[in-house]
Amino acid sequence: MNLHNKVAIVTGAGEGMGRAIAIRFAKEGANVVLAEINQAAAEETLATIGGRALAVPTDIAKVDQIDDLIARTVEAFGRIDILVNNAGVTKPLGFFEVTEADWDWMYSVNARGLFFCMQRAAREMVNQRAGKIVNIASIAGKGFRGTSNIAYAGTKGAVIAMTRIGASQLARYNINVNAICPGATRTNLFEMGIAEAVAKRKVTREEAVRRMEATIPLGRSNSPDDIANMAAFLASSEADNITGQSFNVDGGLMWD
């Protein structure tokens, strides 16, 4: 899984899965562009990576900032080989608690922003007739009942659909488009869910984690590195003939 001298954009690279992916790509030899709305978090990732990396403040909900991200990447490194669409937002909400503002917030980043990142990066990839796009979806997009909320699940279902259509329409340019569907992953979102379980069930954090992980066939939640491992594979030449797929990384929570 050698990414030597490849140019990779990772959105939401300041923490969690995005940070793990960015660090893994750098270890594989890639030049990594960290697209992150939280500049302090981006600088922490940048300090960890060092070397040939660039942090670009980016609000994925704003297309003009996506355009700036692409332009600065090409200016710095000359091309784009890999895009990982990791940036995403959500919060725990019941069915009747979802507001229009919640809906618009989640769709603006998770679906709309993701598409325009794909489109803008693919325009550059067409020039070299090669590229890898990896979208971070979720098992929520496949109907996982434990999703944080219905709107979030809808955005991730949209990511899976856009991955398939994008793969179909970009295949003629030798651009691969795939998605990763994480299950329970130890990130800030994971901690939000555990905190909610602690409050509702009046149990300790350790007990809430134990109960949650007991529902996973392999018995453990993901570390962010589990997702980074799959992203590194899909971004590499080892995945050259894989496109349009949505891979669950979830310990067996979902089977399709």
Residues annotated as catalytic are: 152
Eight-class DSSP state of 219? S
The amino acid sitting at 39 is Q
161: nearest Cα among 182, 147, 179: 179
Q: How far is CA 231 from the centre of its chain?
A: 9
**Residue 70 corresponds to which tokens in the numbers above?**
């692409």
End-to-end CA distance of the chain, in Å? 26
CA atoms within 13 A on the CB side of 137: 33
The rounded distance, in Å, linking the Cα atoms of 239 and 44 is: 30
**Three-state secondary structure call for residue 73:** helix
**Residue 168 corresponds to which tokens in the numbers above?**
């179909």
Q: Strand runs (DSSP E) across 114-228, as ranges?
A: 131-136, 175-182
CA distances to 106, 197, 207 from 215, in Å: 27, 14, 13
140-146 long-range CB contacts below 8 Å, 24 or more apart? Answer: 141/181, 141/246, 142/181, 142/246, 142/248, 142/254, 142/256, 144/183, 144/253, 144/254, 146/184, 146/193, 146/215
